[in-house]
Structure 1
């Protein structure tokens, strides 16, 4: 479908520079947006020429495609097909960094909502494009102050956007657009958020800029605003339906100033990456962290704790060892774990199958037995609506909460009747709930699919946390033994039997009784029994193993701190999406954005590492003062600091890359 211009009564006697190659030349531009499998073409083979020094209003109703056209002209987006030549050179296929360089040197953006950084002063907002152009700090500050003074904001340079009126904020936006020259000014509804007086002032500024030789592209839906331009291009449904010149006032004289030519990116002005970029990234990172001190301090806390724990745990072996033993003891000292163990009795598929649920019933009849719980854990996929999650289902009996001292937080655990009747019910761990019901506070009563078999959720287990070796005990689903072995796993044997002794002092005798019973039932010793009390005694004697474990726990705490940094940085990227879009629109390249956000993570981890070392050494000193044996050594300190530094690089990379990979036009549209 071809565009249908209503009229093209533009005279041939253009201003100097217009008679040459158009500064903007679009040919058969099409833009298609994809929403899943649906493709929507917004621009339908549009062609347009704009010469240097023109004042063009691109007018259309909402949804006409005018904003999409502006984004394409400003290199914030790229066409699906067609040719876009800027100042005679094809630019439609340029890569992200090349487009950023051209935006930096040729375009200035004026947005309806101003898009000023709230944490920066008016001067700092105006300076932003020059930072990415590699202009030294003193030079760019002088130019920013000159532009603000010229626009009547000489007494508002140190004010933040919240301290300025709408008209003043738009003037700051105009100054920012002119910072690198702004041969082409793209003004997107510049008066839309202003009162009539401020709007008139902004339009007068645009006229003044046009008289000085700047090419002005005004995007608007307002006929009165568009009428102030020298040329009006009207768009409807992705097509140009009218392209006409406005009649010049009788007294109007041709402008004496020639059109402002676009600059060409030069390597000396920041096209490469060097010390300047790193320094500026660090400065902006510190400024961003200072603007949200509370979040920075909370993020620092994770790194501080991690580093301090590395230093303290490696120096205070006995205290750390006691902490680990306490965690192991919390699992239960009165438990016997019966597992299949005869190496010569295996099924053809390699699975050991020597224990059955009837063995647990027989064990329950022995003296000093409080509970005997058969269990069959296996991998399953839980599905809720269109959300899938892989976890572990444990087919067991109603005595499981009693044996493991693990109560239900919400709802109920299944009972013996549910087990007997093969009831399709399930009790979820908290990690599973968080992953499959993120927006549902109480999943009890809901239905889920386990391996495509429907189960009703009747309860949610209380938080159990991680095991001493780091496994998430809350990432599990409990189902009746009969239902699970029949419908989920198709097996009648069990993988373990957990036996709870009533009196831990008699647990060794109880272990022998269980052993004798199972030998009598199986006619052979095809199982193994692990005594939790014996495990604790063995762990106490294994000093070297626990020393390694202490170091591992300290490393995990630092890892958790690093994950916290990554999480906060990801949140920061989400919250600052529009800021990222503004920085890209003013010339920031992908590496500029990556360096800024990675520098923030690195600054947090480095500072947190230094503070953590101080706290860790203080803790060691305190323990030494209290008479505990400690060993001062520089190796753990250096290791802890290196780990903190590496954590900043590693866990800052993903958020930084996410920020750098944002599409400028999408980022600018973020709320």
Structure 2
């Protein structure tokens, strides 16, 4: 004796617990051999549909033993049961259970997706099955474009896609007119004659009469069963189609399915994208503005010289009692002798009134030395700077800034001209290059440079210096030079009545501060990206709820847990990636517009990659929960969802 195809012993099924527990099957024993055409009859509520769900591995019994070809079904994992449904069973449901937004051909091809067939192979076989069932002209029609009988034939074709060794038909004629019902029964009878094992669930005696064996069930018990027929020779079924299922192929199919699902509801997809788009665009724009402001401030300060030490009179931390009578020219000369000192520039100054012809102007007057342009990296555009000889001879020569030249000498060459500074005549020998506004908004070009000796004697009436600026040769040792200057001046002055500012340290501090501000802007923008991610999760949870029946159909046709997980997770990732790409484009466009209107912006690849990466990660994180919920659904519960 060959092993029976199906063997049930003492199968029970109960729902609920305690006083609310309802027992639907109460110890069912059934044996079915290969090739039989069996009808299981019973009235509504008799337990026949529950029995079919257990036979088709859509549901598990509460107790009892179910063996399929001698294999204990209870020992199989969730994915092994999915493989059984894929390779062994074909389902024909009363309500058809077709995917709504998919063509007849693609509906039939669904089981082959999970058996690893290529798209071309499964499309070809689906066409052959539909043509055999008289639907050659309806390949591209969606379910709502087909009659009930045509939809049921599509359902039968789907059941045969992976071989359909066992066809489980649950009230296959219940929703059809009489003629369509007869046609469907002819198809099922022919399948039984060709070697398929057909198990028909029905309440109609006329339909049951077409089967070779009729089993009656009432109140969860088998009340009539002639027993299995003798195991006669059964026609050999065609080989089951199997392909090579690679991860890449699975992911490609999941992406294709995700795009199809999104395109079927474009408005909702657009709303889902919106949060991600706004978040990514905001992050890119905010970081560009922050980095642009940082660059502008640091460049402005750096333009003053990152290798400079600035010595000012007055003891440290005594801002309210500063004095200008502690630094002298001798201090400057002493500092020149220290190692790592490239140039030493004294400064003494104030404001004065300049007159040329009938034009007056009151710029800042800066008395300095011949090394000023080299120390401050500030070149001239016209003429020359004064020399050490000019300093020693107290020469009345002046070098003017661009703003002064534009005010006093409009449309004229200022070189060689004489200007009255208070009551002294000074000859203009040079014009500085344009410097622009300082980080504090001061016009740096509204200045006149004169030898510090001349300024101290003729303009300000003092020999004390306002400051001494030291340019170092090696910035790496600027802190050592600062310490040397401090020791030198303490020894000369008998105490610390001065302050030293390290421009390199100031630049580092400003850079760190502006970097913090930039990240603050980016963090604020990232909140919108987080909100967008929560929106993705909400929409995906709604999508899972709306598509529960689709999930049940895919599980019934052989989808593993990972297939469902991949499908919904990739949908979330596709939404996030697409939203990220659009957000990047909008963010770059907004950055370009802001730059065009004069707002300082700085574009770099890092914020773009950061924003897009965060969008992708958002889809992964917030898509996981809905995807996991979908993958953990019970097939029979999912199929019964409205």
Q: TM-score range by the shorter chain?
A: 0.5 to 0.7
2:527 — aligned with what?
Answer: 556
* Equivalent residue runs for 1:51-450 within 5 Å: 51-244=33-226, 258=235, 260=237, 269-270=244-245, 274-317=247-290
2:587 — aligned with what?
Answer: 616
TM-fit CA distance, 1:320: 12
Any conservation in 2 of the 1:106–1:262 contact (CA below 8 Å)? no
Answer with 1 or 2: which has the greater Rg.
Answer: 2
Query: Which secondary structure state, in structure 1, belongs to the residue aligned with residue 43 of structure 2?
Result: coil
Q: What is the distance in 2 between the residues matched to 1:246 and 1:30?
A: 21
TM-fit CA distance, 1:565: 0.8
Q: What is the distance in 1 between the residues matched to 2:293 and 2:210?
A: 76
TM-fit CA distance, 1:545: 5.5
Q: What is the distance in 2 between the residues matched to 1:36 and 1:633?
A: 65
Bigger mean CA offset, 175-184 vs 550-559: 550-559
Any conservation in 1 of the 2:291–2:602 contact (CA below 8 Å)? no
Q: What is the distance in 2 between the residues matched to 1:239 and 1:294?
A: 51
TM-fit CA distance, 1:261: 8.8
TM-fit CA distance, 1:255: 9.5
Q: What is the distance in 2 between the residues matched to 1:559 and 1:232?
A: 60
**Is the counterpart of residue 595 in structure 1 residue 572 in structure 2?**
no
* Equivalent residue runs for 1:474-485 within 5 Å: none
Any conservation in 1 of the 2:149–2:181 contact (CA below 8 Å)? yes
Query: Which secondary structure state, in structure 2, belongs to the residue aligned with residue 155 of structure 1?
Result: helix
Q: Normalization by structure 2: what TM-score?
A: 0.63
Query: Which secondary structure state, in structure 1, belongs to the residue aligned with residue 559 of structure 2?
Result: coil
Runs of 4+ in 1 over 6 A off after TM superposition: 318-321
TM-fit CA distance, 1:148: 0.2
Give the aligned length. 424
1:499 — aligned with what?
Answer: none
TM-fit CA distance, 1:244: 3.0
Q: What is the distance in 2 between the residues matched to 1:259 and 1:666?
A: 35
Aligned-residue Cα RMSD (Å) equals: 2.5
Q: What is the distance in 2 between the residues matched to 1:262 and 1:241?
A: 37
Any conservation in 1 of the 2:67–2:73 contact (CA below 8 Å)? yes
Q: What is the distance in 2 between the residues matched to 1:648 and 1:320?
A: 32
Q: What is the distance in 1 between the residues matched to 2:15 and 2:630?
A: 22
TM-fit CA distance, 1:147: 0.3
TM-fit CA distance, 1:319: 12
Bigger mean CA offset, 35-44 vs 642-651: 35-44
2:612 — aligned with what?
Answer: 641
- C-alpha change, 1:217 and 1:116, in structure 2 (3 Å) is same
2:545 — aligned with what?
Answer: 574
1:453-500 residue CA offsets vs partner (Å, 9 max, x unmatched) = xxxxxxxxxxxxxxxxxxxxxxxxxxxxxxxxxxxxxxxxxxxxxxxx
- C-alpha change, 1:37 and 1:275, in structure 2 (3 Å) is farther
1:41 aligned to which of 23, 35, 58: 23
Query: Which secondary structure state, in structure 2, belongs to the residue aligned with residue 244 of structure 1?
Result: coil
1:35-85 residue CA offsets vs partner (Å, 9 max, x unmatched) = 686322211111100111111111111111111110000000111111111
2:596 — aligned with what?
Answer: 625
Any conservation in 2 of the 1:211–1:255 contact (CA below 8 Å)? no
1:642-663 residue CA offsets vs partner (Å, 9 max, x unmatched) = 1111111111111111100000
Q: What is the distance in 2 between the residues matched to 1:567 and 1:587?
A: 28
- C-alpha change, 1:633 and 1:319, in structure 2 (3 Å) is closer
Q: What is the distance in 2 between the residues matched to 1:76 and 1:652?
A: 26
2:630 — aligned with what?
Answer: 659
Q: What is the distance in 2 between the residues matched to 1:582 and 1:128?
A: 9
Q: What is the distance in 2 between the residues matched to 1:26 and 1:257?
A: 22
Any conservation in 1 of the 2:6–2:68 contact (CA below 8 Å)? yes
Query: Which secondary structure state, in structure 2, belongs to the residue aligned with residue 316 of structure 1?
Result: helix
Query: Unaligned stretches of 5+ in structure 1?
Result: 1-18, 248-253, 322-541
Any conservation in 1 of the 2:287–2:519 contact (CA below 8 Å)? no
Any conservation in 2 of the 1:215–1:259 contact (CA below 8 Å)? no
2:355 — aligned with what?
Answer: none
Q: Normalization by structure 1: what TM-score?
A: 0.61
Query: Which secondary structure state, in structure 1, belongs to the residue aligned with residue 74 of structure 2?
Result: coil
Q: What is the distance in 2 between the residues matched to 1:655 and 1:59?
A: 39
Any conservation in 1 of the 2:293–2:601 contact (CA below 8 Å)? no
- C-alpha change, 1:158 and 1:313, in structure 2 (3 Å) is same
Any conservation in 1 of the 2:39–2:201 contact (CA below 8 Å)? yes
